[in-house]
Amino acid sequence: MNEGTLEIFSTEIKQSSRSFKQKVKERPLMTGWFIVLLIVGFWTVLMLVELVKGIEDPLFTLSESDILFAVFFVIMSKASVETVENTLRNEQLKHYFSAPISIGKILLSRFLKVFWYNLILVAVSVSIVALLIHTFGFNPPVDQYFYYRLYVLVILAPMIGFNLGVMTQVKGTMKKIFLSILYGQHMILVWFVLQSRISDIHIIYYLLFMCSLSLLFLFTSDGLFWEGWKNGTSASTSSENNLRFHAPSELLPDFLDTSIKKIAEKEILIRWRRRESPAGIGVTIMIAAGLIFFYVQLGPSPDLGLGLEGFLYPILIGMGLFLAVTLQVLFPSLSLFGREGKAFWLIKSLPVGPEKVIQGKALAILIYSPIIPLLIALPLPVILSYSIERILFLILSSFIIIFLLTGLGVWSSIKYPNFDESVNGAPDVTTMYTTMVAGMFLSLLFLSIPTAVFRLNPLLGSLAGVSMLLFSFTAFYGFCRRATEHYRMSEMDF
């Protein structure tokens, strides 16, 4: 490690910590609420672990390796997304690339940033978990080697995540797919090592060996890193690019107001060209495939020994729906305004009413949302031979969650905008987590009554579902109204 790397790293950390302090100062209540929700979140996870310990089906028996792989996967995915969004699509990095610093040093400084934040996240998480275990007497199924393996995985996961992020951004679709599949095998290797029957100490040796391989790859991948950054930040110069998405307005109904259509068109084009829409749809497809995978593994009526036989698939479909709406609808809507960055003046100086701006932006998010019920609320229930009423109820439930989370996201995006272009307008972790938990709470609230009624009487339950759909649309409308007010009052002092 050398001076250039450390200087960039310390500058970035200084900048982020100042911005974090500023946000805490501006929003002390929300920060406090975030901490409470974080603790409650970990408490829920520990409760689930306690519950899952009672499962008898060997496929679902929770082992240390499963917990470790879940932690590894979360950290790796987070590192990968951060690498793509905050590094490879970050135009501000041009200042470093134009300075007399080697690409390798810039790469290392960016990796250190990703690594540092993950380390903080794990340290905070482990501290909260330790505190909860001590206070509530939880007894997760782990021994001391669990912690040793955890430490090594915390080092390994950001390395693999960072390298994988770089692979997904290189130029050329085939090259991208080939490299991602090739390198993605590291992830599968971690799974096999963790699940293998060798001794704990040998598992640690293998993981350490993988760490050194990943580190070696990291040190030698400056060419790919440079290619990934260039590809991630460059705009298309070709006017003949037939693959480019040109006419989103054709997807929009004619009766809509022209201003709303044009605002939506702008959002759809940009999100499509930044590959965000295809990525969101891809994630939904993966969730749908995951549900089918569960069915293939467990069969039509799995016996988990928890007395939940009839509920397993509805619970899984419900979780799949929430996850898909969160990833395809909520998270993108959170950066609707922050993403404008320094071009925010353009939309603010237009002779278009705030309500139309909000409606246009919300429409751009909602336009692809029918894919969620189509992929998640249909295939598995059809395979499971659910009745028409049940399938319709699941579709209704999907739209209830979609409207709630879109409204919440749009409101949050203008109430707490993050115009920082180095993170592409993504909201800070406090906003993201708090909104997600609020979305989960609202979804449970809106779905609990119709679901309970549906179990007693499908017809009445469906009617309750339709009423809740109207309520969720009203909530969506209410959130949009509040967002309109915030937008009207917003200023551009940057």
Partner 1 sequence: MIEIKNLCKRYGDIEAVNGVDLSVESGEIFCLLGSNGAGKTTIIKILIGLLEPTSGTALINGKNIREDVKSKTLFGYLPEQPHLYERLTGREFLDIMGTLKGVKKSRLEREIDRWSEELELERRLDSETGAYSKGMKQKILFINAILHDPPNLVLDEPTVGLDPRFSQHMKKKISDFSKDGKAVLMTTHITSVAEDVADTVGIIDKGRLLTRGSPESLKEETGTETLEKAFVEVIDRERRNP
Interface contacts to partner 1, rule CB under 8 A: 234-239, 258-259, 262-263, 265-266, 269-270, 273-274, 341-343, 345-346, 348-354, 489, 491-493
Shortest distance (Å) from residue 340 CB to partner 1: 9
Q: How far is CA 86 from the centre of its chain?
A: 14
CB of 231 vs partner 1, minimal distance in Å: 13
CA atoms within 13 A on the CB side of 8: 27
Region of 425 (left: φ > 0; alpha: ψ -120 to 50; beta: rest) is: left
CA distances from 310 to 306, 365, 386, 395 (A): 11, 34, 12, 19
What are the φ/ψ torsions at residue 307 (nearest 5 degrees)? 75, 25
Cβ proximity to partner 1, 65 vs 233, nearer residue: 233
Residues 6+ positions from 340 with CB-CB distance below 8 Å: 346, 347, 419, 425
Q: Which residue has the tokens 């290189």?
A: 170
Within 10 angstroms of residue 313's Cβ, the number of other Cβ atoms is 21
Shortest Å distance, C-beta 280 to partner 1: 16
Nearest-approach distance from CB 492 to partner 1, in angstroms: 4
Q: Which is nearer to partner 1, 144 or 237 (CB)?
A: 237
CB of 419 to partner 1, least distance (A): 11
Is residue 45 within 8 A of residue 127, CB to CB? The reply is no
Give whichever of 184 and 353 is closer to partner 1, judged by the CB atom: 353
CA distance 406 to 331: 9
What lies within 8 Å, CB to CB, of 397 at 6+ separation is 318, 321, 377, 447, 450, 451, 465
Q: Least distance from C-beta 91 to partner 1, angstroms? A: 8
What's the first-to-final CA gap in the chain, in angstroms?
Answer: 36
Q: Which residue has the tokens 């497809």?
A: 285
C-beta closer to partner 1: residue 385 or 494: 494
Which residue lies nearer to partner 1 by CB, 340 or 428?
340
Of 237 and 385, nearer to partner 1 (C-beta) is 237
- Minimum Å gap between C-beta 425 and partner 1 is 13
Shortest distance, position 129 Cβ to partner 1, whole Å? 42
For the bound state, the minimum distance from the C-beta of residue 286 to partner 1, rounded and expressed in Å, comes to 25
Shortest distance, position 351 Cβ to partner 1, whole Å: 4
Size (the chain), residues: 494
Residue with Cβ nearer partner 1 (23 or 78):
23
Residue placing its CB nearer to partner 1 in the complex, 92 or 301: 92
Asked whether the beta carbons of 256 and 359 are under 8 A apart, the reply is: no
CA dist 301 and 385 (Å) reads 12
Residue among 235 and 296 whose Cβ is closer to partner 1: 235
| Minimum separation from the CB atom of position 331 to partner 1 (A) | 19
User: Got the DSSP string for 93-127?
Assistant: GHHHHTSS--HHHHHHHHHHHHHHHHHHHHHHHHH
Per the rule left: phi > 0, alpha: psi between -120 and 50, beta: everything else, 15 is: alpha
The least CB distance from residue 278 to partner 1, in Å, is: 14
Residue entry with tokens 């017809």? 459
By beta-carbon proximity to partner 1, the closer residue of 44 and 258 is 258
CA dist., res. 56 & res. 307, Å (int): 11
Q: For partner 1, which is the closer residue by CB, 332 or 461? A: 332
Which residue lies nearer to partner 1 by CB, 3 or 493? Answer: 493
Could you give the CA distance from residue 214 to residue 111 in angstroms, rounded to a whole number?
Answer: 12
- CA–CA dist 431, 331 (Å, integer): 10
Give the closest residue to 262 by CA, choosing from 403, 335, 364, 336.
364
Q: How far apart are CA 28 and CA 251, in angstroms?
A: 43
Take residue 386 and report the two structure tokens written for it.
């659910």
Question: What is the spatial distance between Cα 131 and Cα 43, in angstroms, rounded to a whole number?
Answer: 10
